[in-house]
Structure 1
Amino acid sequence: MNVISTHLLLLFMLQALIFTSDVVAEQKPALHWGYVHFPPYFVETAPGLAEGELAALLQRVMQDLQLEMRAQQYPNRRMINLLNEGGLDLAMVISSVLTQQHLYLRSAQPVAMMELAVYWQPGTQPVRQLSDLNNSRLIVMSGYTYGGLREKLEPGNGFIRQLVQIEQHRLGIEALQLDRGEYFLSYRHAMPPESEHQLNYHILDSIEMFLWLRQALPNSGLLMQQIDALLERYNNEAQAAPMP
């Protein structure tokens, strides 16, 4: 074989290798991330696109790991059911939402701290502890577990007189204003800032939110280790950053 033929053969083999690598990269499936409408953490801007504080965090993780992600917003109950069926690759939820935790790996540190608060209109009897809601008409988010409190709040358990379920936090404020309920149980960070000037509120508890990765994914253990390392790095960078 002459020199020219050898060079052509090597060039062909190199092109074939590059093409094969590209095909493998293209065939690598995007991770399916499911979320609910939960501003300012998650907000759908277009089908398959999400913005918000935690959406940006997850997008940064995926970018640093050079992984593709497919974002999809779901109604509250559908999201929880799909998660517990093992139908999502990624999720950011509090632990009580996930009843089938053996299907997922949990991040070593929380990605957010949720303040559980109760809201009411001026003139309504104040609430300082959960027992103050006894025999009240309570507005709650559909599908939310509230850190394990949800079952206790069912009217059949004799604690809450009437339960009104809504899908979005702004609808909870409207329900209060329309007197559909006396109190609204919500997460403070998800409430519009102006609500704290319009309504009275009291923080009942703080609940951690974690990132969850489906355990059945290839190399899920290694992937979660990489995610944990990135989350720790981001946290250290944030703490070291000068105060504005």
Structure 2
Amino acid sequence: MKNKHILLAEDDVDFGSILKQYLEVHHYQITWAKSGSEALEIFQKSSENHFSIAVLDIMMPNMDGFRLAEKMINKAPEIPFIFLTARKLKEDKIKGLKLGADDYIVKPFDADILVLRLNNILRRTQNPNLIKKSSKIQIGSYTLDTGNYRLLRNGNVQKITEKEAALINYFFQHKNQLLKREQILNTIWENDDFFSGRSMDVFISRIRKHFKADPNIYIESTRGIGLTFHINEEAEKIS
């Protein structure tokens, strides 16, 4: 993996110190912020692609992990992130999923599990095979700009995440075909566990909203099987 620089936001000094040292042993470069506001300041001053992933504690003073993630996404929607929390509330997990979290880990946890999940996420997000080359793909009245992670229509530009771009591109390459959920999960998420499944549902909901202005495009769910990305064949063109 070409980049293993983590932005760690954790206000518990003892836990943060131990976690930082452990991740450094596993060859990660760590920038540790002890509050949400400090993490945001560091992130806003960083250059593009400076951090490969963010590990965010939810319960922090001044600015919690959810709010921090929202502000980070506004600057760099493609950055993957993991939430850490001492709470097991279902509402927290749902909120994290809606923000596009790549994982959600409840304290206490085995640090080896965190390393494994970090490695999996980075391998997935830095996988050049998800989108093999930068291109502009005409999908109905939309243009998917895979190189800049944008969806364009009638002069409007919608910034999307790397995963959204990969998922839309994958759907387009298999348009009008019924795809099994496991097939999509193993290709884009490289995992078909419960969390990945819920995460995919959130991304599907986002993509439906992105394409809602064009009646030629819609995603059909087949209960218990999978999804079909329907597109009017006469409406498509690859530029």
Does TM-score exceed 0.5, indicating one fold?
no
Provide TM-score, normalisation by structure 1.
0.24
Q: Which has the larger radius of gyration?
A: 1
Greater relative CO (CA pairs within 8 A, separation 6+) = 1
